[in-house]
Amino acid sequence: MKVEIIKALDLKTRTDLLVLPVCEDRVMQGGPVLQLDKLLDGTLKQLVEEEDFKGKPGQGLTFHTMGKAGALRVALLGLGPEEKVAAERFRRLAGRAAEVARKYRVKSLTLACPVPAAPGLEVKQAVGAMAEGLSLGLYRFDKYKKEPEGRPPYTGPQKVSVIGFGADGRPYTDSGALKAAVERAEALAGGVKIARDLVNEIPEVMTPEELAKKAGELASATPGLKLRVLDSKAMARWKMNAALAVARGSDRKPCFIELGYAPRGAGRGPGLFLVGKGVTFDSGGLNIKPGEHMATMKMDMAGAAAVIAAITVVARMKLPVRVTALVAAVENLPGGRAYKPDDVVAALDGTTIEVGNTDAEGRVTLADSLGWAVKHKAGRIVDLATLTGSCVVGLGPHTAGALGNDEPWLDQVCRAAGEAGEKVALLPLDEDMEDDIKSEVADVKNVGATRFGGAITGALFLQKFVKDTPWVHLDIAGPAWADKKRDYAPVGGTGFGVRLLVHLVERLAQERQA
Ligand code: BES
Ligand code: MN
Ligand code: ZN
């Protein structure tokens, strides 16, 4: 996809699809819309009235111009009320533009990006958000699907022309800034697509070793990104007996993946560690899941996918921050050697874990990854894990739960999420619930004594392994996977967390410069 910034919108210029965002109840007020109405002999105004198109968010009106304008088709898409327009509105709108583009298999597309005087929204941000939404909305995982009539799958327009308009209605002239915004958007979207592909791949293919192989391919293609993989023998030498226990029921060997990015000038001080849950399939183990809960459990490595993709983007963007991504990749199956309820396993840091339920396997694997991060002097940690159904029950499918042991660090992560357009909500790391995970036979137990606050007991368990390191845990069990199509994500892995993490590293880079 070739993106070009244009400086004026000539409605006579040939394009397959012209996308015009419009604010609610102001459809016939924008300059380009009025010009277009003129070209169409006033029929546009009529059409808008007849179709009752108001410019509400989610509303769209696509029509053929019958050769009266340079654009073959025009899509008027609703931005919602002017005073509420924010970057996310543009992202979602562009996601819908992607659907229109797919429907007509357009080869060339023009995106107009009129930015009303919304509080704190700059034209370059809006343009970046649109580029991001378009690219993400075009994503499909179709490698196992035949197209009808053997035609090649549609991958998006070859050429996209972008123009930004300021609140005064004039074209935005700093095309360098817009170009940079589009490039950054494409880097972010590229990362999200990497994560989606990793999650959507079938579990028979996406085994722990395959995940390591994919991480290796990304590392070889990305200057500055280094891969280290521990096989199960090396994991045993490092005493990662918790992750190894989870993996034992499966014939697929586990592995420990470390991706390192240490740019020159970022210093050798304590770095940022991104830890992802990498259960390539979660059957529940001996505490086997009922069928309706087991389906989609290929997504149980979405945290791993997010950290692998995010560090790749960070390296591609050459951000001046030292980052390490860690994944203990395992498959959780019931087998002849499977770990059992009542077992006690010792994690890398020596903490012993009583297995109360083999389906609470994520935290057992994370115990070793977090232990590794602490042992390697992590300055700050963020972990992303599809950890609990409880979090989805509490927060719904769109929002990740955020828990941590350090207020300023939690605050940074939540702000980064907000900028990225990814939803997180704070949950309390309630130490009054510690009793819940006390064990009679070991230092800690992997499940709570009650069914209440499962996302919290999960985080309290993880806290044991981070010691005093500033740490945030993001329970992404809900937003990692879309059961229904979303504005800029089809059904399947969403790539949640990638944009949030890159924004977070950008914040750290700014902090260093300040
Ligand atoms: N991978 C699941 C959590 C999950 C559930 C992710 C739904 C995405 C959607 C996790 O390993 C799990 O099974 N958690 C259990 C924990 C329980 C046994 C304490 C759960 O949430 O039921
Ligand atoms: Mn489980
Ligand atoms: Zn799991």
In order along its 514 residues, the chain shows pLDDT tens digits of: 899 999 999 999 999 999 999 999 999 987 899 999 999 999 999 999 999 999 999 999 999 999 999 999 999 999 999 989 999 999 999 999 999 999 999 999 999 998 888 778 999 999 999 999 999 999 999 999 988 887 889 999 999 999 999 988 899 999 999 999 999 999 999 999 999 999 999 999 999 999 999 999 999 999 999 999 999 999 999 999 999 999 999 999 999 999 999 999 887 778 999 999 999 999 999 999 999 999 999 999 999 999 999 999 999 999 999 999 999 999 999 999 999 999 999 999 999 999 999 999 999 999 999 999 999 999 999 999 999 999 999 999 999 999 999 999 999 999 999 999 999 999 999 999 999 999 999 999 999 989 899 999 999 999 999 999 999 999 999 999 999 999 999 999 999 999 999 999 999 999 877 6
Q: In what order do the strands lie in the sheet with 255-261?
A: 225-230, 255-261, 323-332, 272-282, 380-385, 471-475, 400-404, 424-426
- Classified by CATH at the fold level, domain 190-513 comes out as Aminopeptidase (3.40.630)
Q: Establish whether residue 282 lines the binding site of ligand 1, counting it when its CB lies within 6 angstroms of any ligand atom.
A: yes
DSSP structural state of residue 370? H
In degrees and rounded to multiples of 5, residue 5 shows phi and psi of: -90, 125
Q: Establish whether residue 388 lines the binding site of ligand 1, counting it when its CB lies within 6 angstroms of any ligand atom.
A: yes
Question: Is there a contact between 352 and 345 (Cβ–Cβ < 8 Å)?
Answer: yes
Tell which residue, 39, 99, 48, 101, has the closest CA to residue 66: 39
Rounded to the nearest whole angstrom, what is the distance from the C-alpha of residue 386 to the centroid of ligand 3? 6
Q: Establish whether residue 383 lines the binding site of ligand 1, counting it when its CB lies within 6 angstroms of any ligand atom.
A: no
Q: Establish whether residue 324 lines the binding site of ligand 1, counting it when its CB lies within 6 angstroms of any ligand atom.
A: no
Question: Is there a contact between 25 and 198 (Cβ–Cβ < 8 Å)?
Answer: no
Q: Establish whether residue 359 lines the binding site of ligand 1, counting it when its CB lies within 6 angstroms of any ligand atom.
A: yes
Helix (H/G/I), strand (E/B), else coil: 491 = coil
The best mutation among 388, 436, 450, 473 to test binding of ligand 1, ranked by most ligand atoms within 8 Å of the C-beta, falls on: 388
Q: Which ligand is nearest to the CA of 356?
A: 1
Looking from the CA of residue 300, the nearest atom of ligand 1 is 1
Backbone dihedral region of 391: left (phi > 0), alpha (psi from -120 to 50 degrees) or beta? alpha
Tell which residue, 278, 282, 296, 213, has the closest CA to residue 250: 282
Tell which residue, 495, 514, 358, 334, has the closest CA to residue 420: 495
- What is the residue whose two structure tokens read 């300059």? 31
Query: From atom 3 of ligand 1, which residue's Cα is the shortest distance away?
Result: 388
Rounded to the nearest whole angstrom, what is the distance from the C-alpha of residue 468 to the centroid of ligand 1? 26
Q: Establish whether residue 360 lines the binding site of ligand 1, counting it when its CB lies within 6 angstroms of any ligand atom.
A: yes
Query: From atom 13 of ligand 1, which residue's Cα is the shortest distance away?
Result: 359
Q: Establish whether residue 494 lines the binding site of ligand 1, counting it when its CB lies within 6 angstroms of any ligand atom.
A: no
The architecture in CATH of the region 2-167 reads 3-Layer(aba) Sandwich (3.40)
Rounded to the nearest whole angstrom, what is the distance from the C-alpha of residue 357 to the centroid of ligand 1? 11
Q: Establish whether residue 362 lines the binding site of ligand 1, counting it when its CB lies within 6 angstroms of any ligand atom.
A: yes
Looking from the CA of residue 458, the nearest atom of ligand 1 is 19
> Which helix (H) or strand (E) segment is 72 a member of?
strand 71-80
Query: From atom 14 of ligand 1, which residue's Cα is the shortest distance away?
Result: 388
Question: Is there a contact between 140 and 490 (Cβ–Cβ < 8 Å)?
Answer: yes
Tell which residue, 468, 448, 471, 470, has the closest CA to residue 458: 448
Rounded to the nearest whole angstrom, what is the distance from the C-alpha of residue 294 to the centroid of ligand 3? 10
Looking from the CA of residue 279, the nearest atom of ligand 1 is 1
Rounded Cα distance, 498 and 312, in Å = 10
Query: From atom 16 of ligand 1, which residue's Cα is the shortest distance away?
Result: 360
pLDDT at 127: 96
Enumerate the active-site residues: 289, 363
Looking from the CA of residue 299, the nearest atom of ligand 1 is 8
Rounded to the nearest whole angstrom, what is the distance from the C-alpha of residue 359 to the centroid of ligand 3? 6
Distance of CA 168 to the CA centre of its chain: 34
Cβ burial of 37 (10 Å; 0-12, 13-18, 19+) is: middle
Task: Name the residue ranges covered by the structural domains of the chain.
Answer: 2-167, 190-513
What is the Cα Rg of the chain in Å? Answer: 24
User: Which amino acid makes up residue 315?
Assistant: A
Rounded Cα distance, 53 and 60, in Å = 7
